[in-house]
Amino acid sequence: MKNARQVALDILDRLQRGDQPLDYWLEKAEPQIAELKRQDRALVHALVYGTMRWKGRLDFIIDQLAQKTAKIDPLVRTILEMALFQMNHLDRVPDSAVVHTAVDLAKTNGRKWAAGFVNGLLRRSTAAPDPIRWPGEKAAPHEALSIEIALPAWLTRRWTERYGLDQTHLLGSAINTIPRVTLRTNTLKTDRSDLMRRIEAEAQTVTATRYSPEGIQIASLTRPLSQWPAYRDGWFQVQDEAAQLISHLLAPVPGETVWDACAGLGTKTAHVAQLMNNQGVIVASDVHPHRLAHLKADMQRLGVAIVTPRVMDLTGISGGAALPEFDRILVDAPCSGLGVLQKNPDGKWRVSEADISRSAQRQKAILERVAPHLRPGGRLVYAVCSFEPEENEGVIEAFLQKHPEFAIDNPKIAGTAKANRFITPQGYFKTLPHLEGMDGFFAALLIKAP
């Protein structure tokens, strides 16, 4: 059996060598993680997520101590990142023990030749006075901020141009905190109060969300969610509060026909079914068959009976051509994911500035394919977990220029009046992690002329 640090190193190494996101590699490693003790399972997640959150700052330290001219083996760099994260952000293990463990990892992973380098660099990092030459906040404010909050330079520049240095500091700091786990009550089987009572022994903290009427936030779990009887009985799904509000913006009613055009794993699909009281028809489409297989299994767990999965590529010319008209359509479009970096910190290092424009082009193409299938008088919600203008207003404005039969509705979010504070004067739904304590989302409700 591998120890926690070796499991974490394997995950980080695969992540940085491959082209799949962090959650994919965590799922692949789940059998190994499950064999560990509870404390060691927690350590794996702390090391993996923490190293990815602070990677930019950790790499700056490594390059300073290695004098930047040295070409560092990728696996050795990952070992150093993990060790520096522990030394700077965790306090249970003495620095000397962290150094010793890092040297052992180098030796046992075919990098015996780098053991002395790892030992020397980590010991230099703790020397007094501070051996790191940090950029000055006055002379190089953007560089200093980028390193302080471990944000890529290009993203720091984008956000400071839009929000200013102080707000970007708050935003980046919020992204680097451990996110709260938020559940959405499955109202087809129970209500929020009953669910909270049932799970109160499973977590040290169980509180109702402020804006979503079905949401519950939990902390300090006694065991994994998948082992909870309430999970097996289909009483909840894991879903951020901002994402829960998107379905309320769509506001479907029982008996309608709804198309969840980019359904993914089906979290919003199930919420839509709840709001419809399991009455009507939902077509859930996605380009990835394995996601729809997961969706189908989860619908069975949740007791949702009105969903028909359809494998469909909406970026193709014929995407969605065979479908009828719908009363309501949800387009939770693929995006850069820059609004969910708190949960997916690897996105900071995987996404480039060019990806934002590419995402916007894909989003526009999907809207073009979907729009003809909304009945006159019907409602369409476009949503993305990003607050980049190209993927937000830019997509909607370009779509409306081509489609005068559509207009932005200035909506009221059904079932939760408090959440109307997230609607801008232009009718857009917007949330930011450092202001609302939830994921960064954008959405617009469009109405098609009768």
- List active site positions: 385
Contact present, 388 and 338 (Cβ < 8 Å):
yes
CA distances to 114, 346, 384 from 363, in Å: 46, 22, 9
Residue 420: C-alpha distances to residues 32, 417, 424 (Å): 44, 6, 9
Cis peptide upstream of residue 129 (ω within 30 degrees of 0) = yes
Q: What is the 3-state secondary structure (H, E, C) of 18-38?
A: CCCCHHHHHHHHHHHHHCCCH
Q: CA quadruple 134, 138, 139, 141: dihedral positive or negative? A: positive
Rounded to whole angstroms, how far apart are CA atoms 58 and 107? Answer: 21
> Which tokens is 264 given?
């993914």
* DSSP annotation string for 59-70: HHHHHHHTTTTS
Quick one: DSSP state of residue 203?
E
- Give the separation between CA 187 and CA 416, rounded to whole angstroms: 15
User: Judging by DSSP bridges, how do beta strands 406-408 and 442-448 pair with one another?
Assistant: antiparallel
Region class of 264: left (phi > 0), else alpha (psi between -120 and 50), else beta: left
- What residues contact 361, with CB distance under 8 A and at least 6 apart? none
Question: Which residues have C-beta within 8 Å of that of residue 214, sequence separation ≥ 6?
Answer: 184, 185, 187, 192, 244, 271, 274
DSSP 60-96: HHHHHHTTTTSPPPHHHHHHHHHHHHHHHH--SS-HH
- CA dist., res. 188 & res. 274, Å (int): 6
Give yes or no for a contact between 285 and 314, defined as CB atoms under 8 angstroms apart.
yes
d(CA 145, CA 167): 11
